[in-house]
Amino acid sequence: MYDELKAAVRDVPDFPIKGILFKDITPILHDGRLFRIAVDSFADRQKGKKIDAVVGIDARGFIFAGAVAYKLGVGFVPVRKKGKLPYKTVVTSYTLEYGSETSEMHVDSLKKGDNVIIVDDLLATGGTAMAAATLVKQLGANIVEIDFLIELSFLKGRERLKDYPLFAAIVY
């Protein structure tokens, strides 16, 4: 099943900058059956667990996280780039494989003790996911798992997230 998802991922060289081989997931999004497989790969892992919210990382993570939250019947919490959320936020900064960034989450998006999963499309160095985890922890919530459609294992992001259960449907 995951082999079919992997076969649909398109490589785009030199995007967003020269030297980066971008893993394009839009062929999965364009195919309703493959998109369902991807969403189910996240949601089905949570059966029998008490999940209060799904945290999605800006921007492609929103696509999967929103669908997973819907399927689980729980709320969706966006982690956005700085300046994109209209209300009071908690904030953290981090480094990426090709720069640095600041992310934030609304201060009232999670309650102390909430059980959440974090969902994103791709795990590279782990900076973005670690930032999301930091924001979740700042609000006192528990991270049940961090899920990715794709993991670029050669960038060792899993090591950065070693304190959390982690799942990736496709590993390169």
**CB of 144 closer than 8 Å to CB of 164:** no
Does the active-site annotation cover 97? Answer: yes
**CB of 101 closer than 8 Å to CB of 80:** no
Paired residues of 119 in beta bridges: 56, 147
CA–CA gap between residue 40 and residue 45 (Å, rounded): 8
Does the active-site annotation cover 60? Answer: yes
Length of the chain counted residue by residue: 172
Q: Round the CA-based radius of gyration of the chain to a whole number and report it.
A: 15
Annotated active-site residue in 36, 45, 60, 151: 60
**CB of 21 closer than 8 Å to CB of 172:** no
CA–CA gap between residue 84 and residue 48 (Å, rounded): 34
CA–CA gap between residue 34 and residue 58 (Å, rounded): 21
Annotated active-site residue in 45, 80, 97, 101: 97
Instruction: Give catalytic residue positions.
Output: 60, 97
